[in-house]
């Protein structure tokens, strides 16, 4: 019968565990029943369990750094080292399109990297996309990685993207908050803020999305260092924020700015710090409507849109309020999947669908920016 005993027979009264090859199942059952021997099934299908374990092990043993962006697993969450390695690989594989810039250092002295996608020119009008400003929002960094690869894959064959890159550059910062990100992987999966320390408090970190110089310190942020929405001692106190501020000011030609968060499935335009509507409200609202429709068209994912303050809550010192006030008209923030069932702990299998649908919305924004120079 080829029975494989996992708990060997001992003596009467002691149970026995046995793995039974499929063809032997019936004969064995018949034999046991005929002899009044009680049995129960512990595992229905051993092979299925083994297969499952294999895939799980491959996932976790793939903790060797990636070797190429073609074998990189986009459907799983990665460490900071893996993401930084991915960036270098992408640049090495596409030196004529992609370059990596270091725009500053985090509180814990980690490099802050931005990928630049450019087909040439000098200081072309540009689109900025960032992910991972809040470290626990893992689907965003993972989507950022996917976007980077997508740009490389499509930059010639996709008419829309090709035409965008003919006129504009794309800047992508995948991990805005690397200190926070590492902390979510080593200590506390729910960490949101940076990891800066402040005299007078044992609490760590500033909310990087309350630290920008737009309504800074006003209602919609906290002055308690222990709070998740602590705005920090002063605007741009966080090196992660200052680096982007300096970059944007020095570049001087950014035309669209998209900052990506999760979760809630929302698309926002400014303002968050005040209920005064932005002058370009009508246009931004129309773009949002189109972007959300494009996003939905792929998997039916529902998004709402509007200004930050009317759609979610008052929030001061936010990224896109500052960028809009700098003159970057097309300033948007996304809150990606889901709406709370998994929240920050979005299953890895949703990474790629989320990135795919979001990309369609991003393209709407980028195409609009391309077609409406200012």
Partner 1 sequence: DIDDVGHKYHLELVLEDVLDKDSTVNCTAEVLYHLGNKNIAPAVQFTIEGELKNTDEADNIFYSRIKSLEKELVAENIPDSHGSVSPEMEPIRLLAQVASGYVIWQNSTENTKFQLAQIKHVKQVKRSDDCLEFDYMILLHEMVSQEIIPWQMTVLWHPQHGVQVTQDSCQPKHALE
In angstroms, how far is the first alpha carbon of the chain from the final one?
A: 79
Contact range with partner 1 by CB under 8 A, out of 122-130, 165-173, 187-195, 357-365: 187-195
Among 29, 189, 282, 372, binds partner 1 (CB under 8 A): 189
Contact between 346 and partner 1 per CB under 8 A: yes
Is 156 considered catalytic here?
A: no
Q: Does 77 interact with partner 1 (rule: CB under 8 A)?
A: yes
Among 79, 343, 356, 360, binds partner 1 (CB under 8 A): 343
Listed residue (320, 329, 337) closest to 365, CA to CA: 329
Q: Count interface residues toward partner 1 (CB under 8 A).
A: 28
Ranges within 284-313 binding partner 1 (CB under 8 A) = 312-313
Give the residue, chosen from 247, 271, 344, 359, that forms a contact with partner 1 under the rule CB under 8 A.
Answer: 344
Q: Does 243 sit near partner 1 (CB under 8 A)?
A: no
Q: Give the shortest CB-115-to-partner 1 separation in angstroms.
A: 24
Cβ closer to partner 1: 23 or 347?
347
Pick the closer one to partner 1 by CB: 170 or 346: 346
CA atoms within 13 A on the CB side of 39: 19
Nearer to partner 1 among residue 69 and residue 262 (C-beta): 262
Q: Please state the closest distance from residue 136 (CB atom) to partner 1, in A.
A: 9
| Residue 222 CB, nearest approach to partner 1 (Å) | 8
The verdict on 259 binding partner 1 (CB under 8 A) reads: no
Tokens at residue 9, please? 């027979």
What sign has the CA pseudo-torsion 8, 13, 15, 20?
positive
Three-state SS sequence of the chain: CCCEEEECCCCCCCCCEEECCHHHHHHHHHHHHHCCCCCCCCCCCHHHHHHHHHHHHHHHHCCCCCCCCCCCCCCCCCCHHHHHHHHHHHHHHCCCCEEEEEEEECCCCCEEEEEEECCCCCCCCEEEEEECCCCCCHHHHHHHHHHHHHHHHHCCCCHHHHHHHHHCEEEEECCCCHHHHHHHHHCCCCCCCCCCECCCCCCECCCCCCCCCCCCCCCCCECCCCCCCECCCCCCCCHHHHHHHHHHHHHCCEEEEEEEEECCCEEEECCCCCCCCCCCHHHHHHHHHHHHHHHHHHHCCCCEEEEHHHHCCCCCCCHHHHHHHCCCCEEEEEEECCCCCCCCCCCHHHHHHHHHHHHHHHHHHHHHHHHCCC
Instruction: Look up residue 10 and give its two tokens.
Output: 């001992």
Whichever of 44 and 159 has its CB closer to partner 1, that residue is: 44
Q: Which of 37, 48, 190, 293 binds partner 1 (CB under 8 A)?
A: 190
At its nearest, how many Å lie between partner 1 and the CB of residue 252? 33
**Considering only residues 12, 13, 36, 340, which one is a binding residue for partner 1 as defined by CB under 8 A?**
340
The residue (of 76 and 163) whose beta carbon lies closer to partner 1 is 76
User: Which residue is catalytic, options 173, 238, 335, 357?
Assistant: 335
Does residue 73 interact with partner 1 by CB under 8 A? no
Per CB under 8 A, the segment of 106-114, 219-227, 301-309, 320-328 that binds partner 1 is 219-227
State yes or no: residue 137 binds partner 1 (CB under 8 A).
no
The Cβ of residue 141 has, within 10 Å, a number of other Cβ atoms equal to 26
| Binding-site member from 169, 173, 179, 207 for partner 1 (CB under 8 A) | 207
Asked if 79 is part of the footprint of partner 1 (rule: CB under 8 A), the reply reads no
Within 8 A by CB and 6+ apart from 27, the residues are 1
**Shortest distance (Å) from residue 181 CB to partner 1:** 12
**Binding test (CB under 8 A) with partner 1, winner from 24, 99, 227, 311:** 227
Q: Which residues are catalytic?
A: 335
Residues that bind partner 1 (CB under 8 A): 76-77, 138, 184-185, 188-190, 192, 207, 222, 226-229, 264, 312-313, 340-348, 350
């Amino acid at each position: 019968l080829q029975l494989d005993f996992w708990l060997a027979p001992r003596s009467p009264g002691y149970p026995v565990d046995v793995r039974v090859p499929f063809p032997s199942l019936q004969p064995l059952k018949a034999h046991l029943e005929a002899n009044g021997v009680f049995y129960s099934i512990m595992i229905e299908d051993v092979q299925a369990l083994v297969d499952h374990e294999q895939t799980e092990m491959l996932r976790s043993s793939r903790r060797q750094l990636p070797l190429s962006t073609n074998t990189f697993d986009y459907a799983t969450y990665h460490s900071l080292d893996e993401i930084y390695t991915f960036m270098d690989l992408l640049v090495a594989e596409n030196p004529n399109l992609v370059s990596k810039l270091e725009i500053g250092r985090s509180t814990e002295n980690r490099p802050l990297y931005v990928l630049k996608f450019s087909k040439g020119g000098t200081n072309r009008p540009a689109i900025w996309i960032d992910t991972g400003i809040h470290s626990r929002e893992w689907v965003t960094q993972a989507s950022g990685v996917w976007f980077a690869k997508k740009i490389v894959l499509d930059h010639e064959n996709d008419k829309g993207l090709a035409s965008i890159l003919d006129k504009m550059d794309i800047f992508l910062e995948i991990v805005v908050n690397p200190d926070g990100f590492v902390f979510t992987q080593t200590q506390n999966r729910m960490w949101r803020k940076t990891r800066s320390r402040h005299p007078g408090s044992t609490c760590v970190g500033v909310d990087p999305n309350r630290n920008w110089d737009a309504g800074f310190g006003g209602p919609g942020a906290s002055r308690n260092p222990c709070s998740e929405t602590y705005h920090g001692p002063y605007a741009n106190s966080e090196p992660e924020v200052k680096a982007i501020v300096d970059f944007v000011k020095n570049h001087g030609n950014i035309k669209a700015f998209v900052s990506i968060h999760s979760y809630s499935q929302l698309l926002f335009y400014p303002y968050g710090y005040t209920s005064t509507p932005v002058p370009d409200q009508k246009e931004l609202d129309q773009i949002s409507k189109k972007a959300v429709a494009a996003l939905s068209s792929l998997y039916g994912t529902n998004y709402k849109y509007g200004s930050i303050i009317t759609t979610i809550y008052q929030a001061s010192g936010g990224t896109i309020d500052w960028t809009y006030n700098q003159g970057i008209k097309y300033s948007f923030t996304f809150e990606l999947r889901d709406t709370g069932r998994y929240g920050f702990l979005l299953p890895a299998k949703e990474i790629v669908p989320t990135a795919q649908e979001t990309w369609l919305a991003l393209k709407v924004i980028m195409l609009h920016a391309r077609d409406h120079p200012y």
